[in-house]
Structure 1
Amino acid sequence: MNLKISGHHLEVTPALREYVITKLDRVLRHFDQVIDGNVVLSVDNHREKDKRQKVEISLHLKGKDIFIESANGDLYAAIDVMIDKLDRQVVRHKDRVQGHQHEAIKHQATTPPVEVPPQ
């Protein structure tokens, strides 16, 4: 999987990068058909007293693109919430992809027609 981690008004430290990668491993355990991902870590400080850390991820899966964003006062908490949301959506996508395998008509069991005797 190709993963790009970038920061907006924020320097991405090796600790942050490692934290995001270890959390994304949880998602990859469920579904291994992830093509690439883009993670943006940003700090929005419009007001001095209320700094909001925001995490956005766009994940390109086989057959679907998923976009999740999460905001919190703590960047690590925002990453945790984002990973939880992403995990639920990836598992739901996996169930949809793998759950629609129907048995072919020619392999279904057929019951012989019942003949009713004339009266």
Structure 2
Amino acid sequence: MNISLTGRHVELTEPIKAHMNASIETLSKYNMDIISVNLIATSQTKKGKPLSVIEFVINLAHKNSIVIKQSDEDLYAAIDLATARAQKALRRMHDKDNHHHKDGINEAKNEAGNGIDLHEASEAMEDEIVPVELTLYKPREVEDVLNDIKENKKLFEIFIDNDGKTRVLYKRNDGKFGLY
């Protein structure tokens, strides 16, 4: 990895260079093919305040270059913020390359369907419905159901009448009873 440190209107002292090199070395943990890193430190005045601007240009093999520009009043803080942004960008590229490989729908279907007979699987999934006569629900008179509702203070009761129809007896808001 080629490292280039440049200072524009800023004198790069040994502690500043050491801090820049240490921050650049943290980028190597993502195992990306970094060809070169250019770090440019610039001093500017904006609205009467001195401002330090750090620009990272990271050239990667077989990928687009990453350019990050960060400004802060303190030079060391600008370096740290730019390094954090560069690490985030490299981590995203690394994760995208290694962990987010998407298979096509046809590959997924083929992998899921290996060794499975679809006809047998569809027959096994079909449920068999068997009609059952419930002896628990005997036909009831409307008067008996009305007495049950009054005694138990229920709002409604579903029952089968003597004709075999399913009926609902319910209490209306006006205090009377309705039959459906």
Structures share a fold, TM > 0.5? yes
Preserved contact between residue 31 and residue 90 of structure 1 (Cα < 8 Å): no
| Counterpart AA for 1:113 | D
CA shift at 1:74, angstroms? Answer: 0.3
Q: Equivalent residues in 2 for 1:99-110 (5 A)?
A: 99-101=99-101, 105=107, 108=111, 110=114
Q: Cα distance, 1:56 vs. partner?
A: 0.3
Q: Output the CA distance in 1 between the equivalents of 2:71 and 2:94.
A: 26
- 2:36 is aligned to 36
Deviation (angstroms), 1:99: 2.4
TM-score (norm: length of structure 1): 0.84
Which secondary structure state, in structure 1, belongs to the residue aligned with residue 10 of structure 2? coil
Give, in angstroms, the shift of residue 83 of structure 1: 0.5
Asked if the contact 2:32–2:94 (Cα under 8 Å) also holds between the matched residues in 1, the reply is no
In structure 2, the partner of 1:57 is: 56
State the identity as a percent: 20
Instruction: Tell me the equivalent position of 1:75.
Output: 75
> 1:102 offset after TM fit, Å?
5.7
Matched position secondary structure for 1:115: helix
Q: Which residue of 1 aligns with 2:117?
A: 113
Written as runs of structure 1 = structure 2, the 5 A alignment for 1:1-12 is: 1-12=1-12
Q: Report deviation, 1:29.
A: 1.3
Are residue 93 (structure 1) and residue 90 (structure 2) matched? no
Q: Which has the higher contact order (CA 8 A, sep 6+)?
A: 1
Aligned amino acid, residue 38 of structure 1: N
| Greater Rg by CA | 2
Map Cα deviations across residues 80-99 of structure 1 (whole Å, 9 max, x no partner).
00001000000001111112
**Structure 2: where are the runs of 5+ without partners?**
124-180
- Figure out how many residues of one structure are paired with residues of the other and give that number: 116
SS in 2 for 1:35: strand
**Structure 1 contact 7–41 (Cα < 8 Å) conserved:** yes
TM-score, with structure 2 as normaliser:
0.57
- Amino acid corresponding to residue 108 of structure 1 in structure 2: E
RMSD: 2.4
